[in-house]
Amino acid sequence: MRRSFYEFLMTLRNADSVEPEAEFANNAFHDSSFPKHEESYQKISDYLELNAGYLPSMTIFDEAFQKYQEIDRK
């Protein structure tokens, strides 16, 4: 079974890191409305554009989603 993007993102969490992807993961963890079961780039992207003031750049999401897709193919 394929894991959701959120499940992948949680593997990037690191409270001590200042890396953009780790900060994104940390903030998504505290976002109770994050679409936790979603796998669709478009649906997650739409959510983030409207609701994620904690994400300074959508490029961070794009790069994380690319890693998600690469890992899922292995």
- Residue 23: give its domain's CATH number: 1.10.150.260
pLDDT tens for each residue of 10-43: 999 999 999 999 999 999 999 999 999 999 999 9
59: containing domain:
5-73
- Model confidence at 74: pLDDT above 70: no
Please give the tally of structural domains in the chain.
Answer: 1
Q: What is the mean pLDDT of residues 30-59?
A: 97
Q: Which percentage of the chain shows pLDDT scores above 70?
A: 95
Where residue 30 falls (left for φ over 0; alpha for ψ -120 to 50; beta otherwise) is alpha
- For residues 37 and 10, the answer to whether their CB atoms sit within 8 Å is no
